[in-house]
Amino acid sequence: MRTERSVHRTILPLLVVASLPLILGLVFGAFGHVRTDGGDREHSAESVSLPTQSGESDVSVEEAIANRRSRREYGEEALSRRELGQLLWAAQGVTEGTTGYRAAPSAGALYPLEVYVVVGTPGVDDLEKGIYHYRPENHELTRRKIGTVQSELRAAGVDQEPIGEAAIDIVVCAVDERATGKYGERGRKRYVPMEAGHAGENLYLQAEALGLATVSIGAFSDDHVRDVLGIPTSQRPLYIFPVGGRT
């Protein structure tokens, strides 16, 4: 009896220690977010390709500006992947391959913005509900989490209905450090929010040209949005754009 107990005492802790990697792997692999380091590194995240942007539209830039409106009601149709790709390209896509310059201007071409997509209901054709991160350099998404997230994002956005009712929510965040390294506080206080404004207006006008509906949302809890997206404190959420079809 005594021997059996001592064997258990020795073997049980060993078994627990040996199983730790498996237990941690299951917990974080199945339910955890893929963390980023200042938006630069993403581990073992699956890539989702987006159609090449078309570069053509029947709507002139003047018409898009004239007709742009904040629209808070959305249709029941899912967005197409082409529409999603076009929206993300307008916000932060690379428009000059050799330099890496993007659709929206950036102080010192430092590109502090990181763009996330929360796919809800009705969502996007052939894309599971969840959280995705836009990678401008490859014009693709990396999948961060699969599951229902939109209702929690709505809660983070002081329960604003458009966030929960749109097909998707595009969340524009910033890694301030990329701008403060060169520009100090001016980078954080002025340049970064200005850049979010540029990306945001591009999103509005692109949505207009595609016949979609969107609204810029600035009222939300930064910490709660960070928590929902699973992003570190080095990233600051600046805007939420619910996007859907027109009613």
Sheet holding 113-119, edge to edge: 46-49, 140-146, 130-135, 113-119, 168-175, 235-245, 212-214
Q: Is 158 helix (H, G, I), strand (E, B) or coil?
A: coil
Contact track, ligand FMN, 191-220, x by CB under 6 A = ------------------------xxxxx-
Minimal distance, residue 226 CB to ligand FMN, in Å: 17
Minimal distance, residue 132 CB to ligand FMN, in Å: 22
How many CB atoms neighbour CB 103 within 10 A?
Answer: 20
Minimal distance, residue 166 CB to ligand FMN, in Å: 12
Minimal distance, residue 17 CB to ligand FMN, in Å: 49
Specify the residue, 45 or 196, whose C-beta has the smaller distance to ligand FMN.
196
Site size with ligand FMN, rule: CB under 6 A: 9
> Looking only at residues 118 through 177 of this chain, which bind ligand FMN when binding is defined by CB under 6 A?
160
Query: Rounded to an integer, what distance in angstroms lies between the CA atom of residue 111 and that of residue 23?
Result: 38
Following DSSP, what letter does each residue of 194-213 receive, concatenated?
Answer: HHHHHHHHHHHHHHHHTTEE
Minimal distance, residue 113 CB to ligand FMN, in Å: 15
Question: Does residue 47 bind ligand FMN (CB under 6 A)?
Answer: no
Query: Rounded to an integer, what distance in angstroms lies between the CA atom of residue 211 and that of residue 4?
Result: 73
Specify the residue, 72 or 129, whose C-beta has the smaller distance to ligand FMN.
72
CA distances from 217 to 102, 157, 183 (A): 23, 8, 27
Specify the residue, 105 or 218, whose C-beta has the smaller distance to ligand FMN.
218
Q: Is 42 helix (H, G, I), strand (E, B) or coil?
A: strand
The footprint of ligand FMN (CB under 6 A) covers 69-70, 72, 160, 215-219
